[in-house]
């Protein structure tokens, strides 16, 4: 069973054929999918999808690119979803993104800390987005993240950073970028970190792996991520599929049976 641990199934890119996308995922052996949110509205959308489709789970939270749009009551509404909906297995997608000039870094940091505090108070793992912000992300985790667990989505850190995060209890999600020929750092890290800390994900509809690069991504393509990690580590693809699925079940606290 494949477990796509990060796919934005609510995205408008799927409005015309969402059911068909999910059918293709099932046909490809994807038994579970985690849908992470970016704000209050998409948190509600993730939960709604999980209500209607077996094997879909939700993460709720505020993405750093939405940090300056937070309205009064949003965080409490997200808390209520996490408390009341059994499909919610993580707080995410949250973190820092310094690729753009906005939102202001202080605003992003403030929301990130609030999301960490939410995850800790609910005893849920966290799904972290860290784009060009490794230093501040690590500093915030050191200061506020004692006892926190979770995953770094679309991991792009160094081996040195990985070593510290392993000690802190984190897992590492690899997307279609690890399949890209020039993704040397991602390939190096994926080939060397402990196998029991690796997750596979698509970040659908983004980051489509070869051979579909240039088209819309979807959960069925998570198999290509598993196959590349297997190639890098000299393993059988089925072994990587089984191990990464077990890792996902463990970190998100999901029972073996759907």
Can you read off the two tokens belonging to residue 101?
């000039």
Ordered by start, the domain boundaries in the chain are 2-252
* DSSP secondary structure of 43-64: HHHHHHHHHHSTTEEEEE---G
Q: What is the mean pLDDT of the chain?
A: 97
- What is the arithmetic mean of pLDDT over 148-157? 97
Average pLDDT over residues 169-182: 97
Cβ contact 198:244 at 8 Å: yes
pLDDT(40) > 60? yes
* Cβ atoms < 10 Å from Cβ of 99: 9
Task: Count CA atoms closer than 13 A to 2's CA, side-chain side.
Answer: 24
CA torsion angle for 116, 117, 120, 124 (degrees, to 10)?
-50
* pLDDT confidence of residue 194: 96
Residue range 2-252, CATH number: 3.20.20.140
pLDDT of residue 256: 79
Provide the CB-side half-sphere exposure for 179 (13 A, CA): 20
3-state secondary structure of 79: helix
Using 50, 70 and 90 to split pLDDT, how confident is the model at 240? very high
pLDDT score, position 258: 44
Q: How far apart are CA 218 and CA 87, in angstroms?
A: 21
Q: How far apart are CA 81 and CA 77, in angstroms?
A: 6
For the full predicted model, state whether its pTM sits above 0.95: yes
% the chain with pLDDT above 70: 99
- pLDDT on residue 198: 98
- What dihedral angle (degrees, nearest 10) is formed by the CA atoms of 45, 206, 68, 118? 60
Distances (CA, A) of 61 to 69, 190, 198: 13, 27, 22
Please give the average per-residue pLDDT across 162-181, as a whole number. 96
Please give the angle made by the CA atoms of 180, 182 and 188, to the nearest 5 degrees. Answer: 90
pLDDT-derived band of residue 31, with 50, 70 and 90 as boundaries?
A: very high
Mean pLDDT within 2-9: 98
pLDDT band at 257 (very low <50, low <70, confident <90, very high): low
CA distance 29 to 31: 6
Q: Quick: pLDDT tens for 194-205.
A: 999 999 999 999
What Å distances lie between residue 98 and 64, 68, 132, 252, CA to CA? 9, 14, 5, 27
The secondary structure of the chain in percent helix, strand, coil, rounded to multiples of 5, reads 50, 15, 35
């Amino acid at each position: 069973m494949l477990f796509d641990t990060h796919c934005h199934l609510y995205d408008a890119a799927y409005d015309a054929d969402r059911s068909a996308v999910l059918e293709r995922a099932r046909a490809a052996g994807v038994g579970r999918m985690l849908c992470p949110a970016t704000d209050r509205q998409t948190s509600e959308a993730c939960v709604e999808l999980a209500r209607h489709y077996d094997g879909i789970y939700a993460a709720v939270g505020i993405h750093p690119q939405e940090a300056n749009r937070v309205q009064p009551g949003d965080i409490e509404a997200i808390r209520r979803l996490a408390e009341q909906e059994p499909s919610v297995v993580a707080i995410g997608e949250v973190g820092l993104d310094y690729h753009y000039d906005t939102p202001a870094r202080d605003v992003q940091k403030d929301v990130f800390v609030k999301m960490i505090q939410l995850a800790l108070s609910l005893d849920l793992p966290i799904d972290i987005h860290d784009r060009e912000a490794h230093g501040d992300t690590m500093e915030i985790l050191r200061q506020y993240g004692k006892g926190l667990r979770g995953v770094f989505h679309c991991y792009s850190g160094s081996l040195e950073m990985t070593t510290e995060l392993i000690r802190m209890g984190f897992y590492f999600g690899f997307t279609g970028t690890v399949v890209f020929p020039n993704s040397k750092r991602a390939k190096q890290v994926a080939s060397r970190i402990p196998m029991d800390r690796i997750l596979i994900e698509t970040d659908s509809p983004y980051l489509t792996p070869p051979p579909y690069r240039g088209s819309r991504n979807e959960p069925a393509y998570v198999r290509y991520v598993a196959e590349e990690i297997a190639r890098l580590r000299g393993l059988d693809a089925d072994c990587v599929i089984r191990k990464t699925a077990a890792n996902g079940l463990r970190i998100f606290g999901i029972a073996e049976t759907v």
